[in-house]
Amino acid sequence: MTVRTRFAPSPTGYLHIGGARTALFSWLYARKHGGSFVLRIEDTDLERSTAESVNVILEGMSWLGLNYDEGPFFQTHRFDRYAEVVEQLLAEGKAYKCYCSKDELEVMRAEQMARKEKPRYDGRCRQRDLPSGEEAPYVIRFRNPEEGEVVVDDLVRGRVVFANKELDDLIIARSDGSPTYNFTVVVDDFDMGITHVIRGDDHLNNTPRQMNILRALGAEPPRYAHVPMILGEDGQKLSKRHGAASVTDYRDQGFLPEALLNYLVRLGWSHGDQEIFSREEMFQLFDIADINNSASALNMSKAFWLNQHYIKTLPPARVAEELSYHLGKLDVDPTTGPDLVEVVIAYQERAKSLAEMAQGSLFFYREFEQYDEKAAKKNLTAAIATPLRALRDQLATVEWSDGAIHQAVEAVAAAHELNLGKLAQPLRVAVTGAGVSPPIDVTVRLIGRERTLARIDRALAYIG
């Protein structure tokens, strides 16, 4: 049997980080087994679904490199099919029309709660089939078995048993005729031949109902794998409040997709003590059996550590591709300064995010407004004016290479009986405006001769 997995987000917002991980697991599982990964957009909630959300999800998936083999399928395009299945269930007596009003249901639930019972539909319309020609509005409910139990043999949870009497007759079609989630999922998973449903923990309780519907349709349910949820850094449920909740946020914070994927795959899944996983290794090593049972909290510092790892180890040209996005956000025209690959090489060991890298390399592309106050006060002193002037003269004629620049700084420092640092740091402040940058020779070289000389002049003027 060929493995077929799916990712089925609802387009009501952004691509959630938890959703992204579920997608990753599903994608990995399909890829590992040479199967297919299907993308399905669950947009049956006409009220909340938007086209923008669909785009955000699609963009996020493509940024992460989670390529799907089929889809995106839209549930709103399949309403005829759902209606057909509803009719079938109705005809077979496996579903029935329910004329209860929302008010009536509310009262019923309130009474049940008062009796400390689980609020559930009591099936009062099971026997209330009105003769045809009725005009009262109705919904369609699935006739859930009243006896017995449903066993979910979950790939990560193990055997979970639900008593049918705990389940009620859920609505499969609204009064306007539109199908509901628990129903469309079932029809789609069935029609699309999904063999493994990998999804969030929060769906575990829905699973027995879905299995019952599936069986009513004469289908054998797929295998299920319910993965634990992802919590915010504070251990609380993830929300916009605490930190990045959407894939877009991570991108904007300067993450490389390689890093985010690696971070995500290790959240709730492990392969011994290994921390770093290339895509190929993920395909090879991923196994549902190694997924954890408990929820995991986000740890941004670890995510940044991984990000830094990839910034350091990926080909600089690859990092440069992503860097240009961040430079663009800062209104930098990359043609006004050094090659991005050079910038990446200079910064790959000193940036834990691309946003930071872009921010830190601004002085390569445009003049800085003013000196960092502390750095200028400490380094741009009257005493340094003479050596700095001498250095300027050297840099005006020296060969423009790291080695030659370094030698010039060293020579001038020695001539004035200064440690290298005593001259390098003032130079750094002069050419970058601040006390932090890549090695001084590299920094100067990338800034370029013309800009360097002008900035030293500016510093000399500042010293006065």
Partner RNA sequence: GCUCCCAUCGUCUAGAGGCCUAGGACGUCGCCCUCUCACGGCGAAAACCGGGGUUCGAAUCCCCGUGGGAGCGCCA
CB 158 within 8 A of CB 189: no
Contact set for RNA, span 331-350 (CB under 7 A): 349-350
Q: Is 182 in the site for RNA (CB under 7 A)?
A: yes
Of 158, 218, 239, 369, the one binding RNA (CB under 7 A) is 158
Question: Could you write out the three-class secondary structure of 295-351?
Answer: CEECCHHHHHHHHHHHHHHCCHHHHHHHHHHHHHHCCCCHHHCCCHHHHHHHHCCCC
Cβ neighbors of 187 (< 8 A, separation 6 or more) are 78, 81, 82, 85, 179, 217
Total chain residues near RNA (CB under 7 A):
90
- Give the span between the Cα atoms of 258 and 171, in whole angstroms: 42
Contact set for RNA, span 408-447 (CB under 7 A): 419-421, 424-425, 428, 435-441
Taking the complex as a whole, how short is the minimal distance between the CB of residue 302 and RNA, in angstroms?
A: 3
Q: Is 26 in the site for RNA (CB under 7 A)?
A: no
Stretch that binds RNA, among 111-119, 242-250, 278-286, 390-398 (CB under 7 A): 111-119
Q: Let me know if 422 is a catalytic residue.
A: no
Closest CB to RNA among 120 and 215?
120
The DSSP element (H or E) to which 441 belongs, if any, is helix 440-447
Of 30, 61, 139, 244, the one binding RNA (CB under 7 A) is 139
Q: Is 367 in the site for RNA (CB under 7 A)?
A: no
* 417 residue type, one letter: E
Of 77, 118, 240, 378, the one binding RNA (CB under 7 A) is 118
Of 110, 130, 161, 317, the one binding RNA (CB under 7 A) is 161
**Pattern of binders to RNA over 266-305, x per CB under 7 A?**
xxxxx-xx-x-------------xx-xxxxxxxx-xx-xx
The DSSP element (H or E) to which 89 belongs, if any, is helix 79-91
CB 227 within 8 A of CB 196: no
Taking the complex as a whole, how short is the minimal distance between the CB of residue 286 and RNA, in angstroms?
A: 13
- According to DSSP, the residues that pair with 179 across neighbouring strands are 173
Q: Is 116 in the site for RNA (CB under 7 A)?
A: yes
Taking the complex as a whole, how short is the minimal distance between the CB of residue 367 and RNA, in angstroms?
A: 19
- Give the span between the Cα atoms of 385 and 139, in whole angstroms: 85
Contact set for RNA, span 214-233 (CB under 7 A): 228-229, 231
Helix (H, G, I), strand (E, B) or coil at 163: strand
Q: Which residues form the catalytic set?
A: 240
